[in-house]
Amino acid sequence: MDNRFFVDGNHLSHTALEKKHKLETDPASRTDHMKYSDGMEQIKSEIMSKVLSEMDSYDYTEYSAMDVRTALMHETCTIDDFKALLSPAAEPFLEQMAQKARVATSRHFGNTVYLFTPLYIANYCENYCVYCGFNCYNNIKRMKLNFEQIEREMQIIHKSGMEEILLLTGESRSKSDIPYIGEACKLARKYFRMVGLEIYPVNTDEYKFLHECGADYVTVFQETYDSNRYADLHLLGHKRVYPYRFDAQERAILGGMRGVACSALLGLSDFRKDAFASALHVYYLQRKYPHAEMSLSCPRLRPIINNDRIHPLDVHETQLCQIICAYRIFLPYVGITVSSRESEQFRNGIVKIAATKVSAGVSTGIGDHESKYNGKASDSTEGDEQFEINDDRALDAMYQDIENEGLQPVLNDYIYM
């Protein structure tokens, strides 16, 4: 593999174009997506087989209005109740679902909404995921922040009042290795009370090292739980290995992380089955590791740079609201994050019902907080964004809007002793 090309991705050689075309048109040219690569840790866990078995057998067309009414009457939501609440039969009951979700949210989270912001520190990637702006074949401006630049970005974000940060990289071990991410965690701990990671999946000992460097929690998007669709979308790189990605949250917990988050990227495949599998993944993790904090993210596919071939399968706001309400009813203690992929109006509404965490002051580019926060001219060294955001409110505006909804914005609720 020409690693220089696969992480820089600026000028496609004839050989590279041929390889790209072959990957797209010839499934036999791709590696087995269920087979581990060298260096990937395999843990003994039954969770993946349980989730996939139940997802495969889930036929949401079988559920009726009576099933939905029954589910809404139950004090505790069973897996079968959850299936009914995710089904098309539940769409006419969205108001009743929202009311039940609001009660559960208030009971377990009060009227609080947590705020955080992401910081992308590198956009180099060695995967070919056809829907992602960072994919190795996409001709974008690549950048990796050095430690001085990372600290400068953190200082700007910290000055805004933010206390929780989520560090993100593209999936390139050669450009964003574990020591590099670890140093970024140490820098983040100087400025923030909570530090999250959204990076490529790693082994248990590496999660342990990153936790010791200051990371509190790990978010991993499975993207889609449909393994066949997953294979069609992830054509090259370590991300192609489905089971290694699936078990990432469990390895993170075993490595000492305090919390983990699961998610599918809604719109890549059958969104009802993906939503079902995402929540079931958390459900089984929660029962196996009751000490760990669990959360769910609810992103929908957004437009990306240099790609007009990938379009979201229809997941409308009404259906997204249904999914989030069903999540809350099924998993009343779990945090639910709604990102800046969604509109200001939608996020203002959903935090009053079921969501407990939102991002603010968001940028998905590299090294651009100086220009975006302080209004300075764009730096020529900035790297391209991963996807387009929808809600670009700064922290102050988000904080005020949450208060105007009668809710209490929370910047941090964890104290290290």
Nearest to 258 by CA among 200, 308, 197: 197
Q: Tell me how many domains the chain contains.
A: 1
CATH number (domain holding residue 231): 3.20.20.70
Whether 125 is covered by a domain: the verdict is yes
Q: Exposed, middle or buried by CB within 10 Å (0-12, 13-18, 19+), for 155? A: middle
DSSP state of 335: E
Whether 159 is covered by a domain: the verdict is yes
CA-to-CA distance for 398 and 282, rounded, in angstroms?
28
| pLDDT score, position 379 | 53
Q: How confident is the model at residue 311 (pLDDT cuts 50, 70, 90)?
A: low
| pLDDT score, position 374 | 62
200-216 pLDDT tens trace: 999 999 999 999 999 99
Tokens linked to 408: 């209490």
The residue to which tokens 């079902």 are assigned: 276
Residue 14 pLDDT greater than 90, yes or no: no
| pLDDT score, position 366 | 86
CB atoms within 10 A of CB 63: 22
Whether 416 is covered by a domain: the verdict is no
Whether 76 is covered by a domain: the verdict is yes
Q: How far is CA 239 from CA 10, 24, 34, 264, in A?
A: 21, 16, 11, 14
Residue 138 pLDDT greater than 90, yes or no: no
Helix (H) or strand (E) holding 322: helix 317-330
The residue to which tokens 């991963």 are assigned: 386
| pLDDT score, position 2 | 43
CA-to-CA distance for 405 and 145, rounded, in angstroms?
37
Tokens linked to 269: 């495949």
Whether 135 is covered by a domain: the verdict is yes
Residue 125 pLDDT greater than 60, yes or no: yes
349: left (phi over 0), alpha (psi -120 to 50) or beta: alpha
Whether 107 is covered by a domain: the verdict is yes
Whether 415 is covered by a domain: the verdict is no
CA-to-CA distance for 309 and 314, rounded, in angstroms?
15
In whole numbers, what is the pLDDT of the chain averaged over residues? 90
Q: How many residues does the chain have?
A: 417
265 alpha carbon, distance to own chain's centre: 8
pLDDT over 70 percentage in the chain: 89
Q: Exposed, middle or buried by CB within 10 Å (0-12, 13-18, 19+), for 186? A: middle
| pLDDT score, position 16 | 79
Q: How confident is the model at residue 4 (pLDDT cuts 50, 70, 90)?
A: very low
Q: Residue 154: which domain range?
A: 3-410
Whether 66 is covered by a domain: the verdict is yes
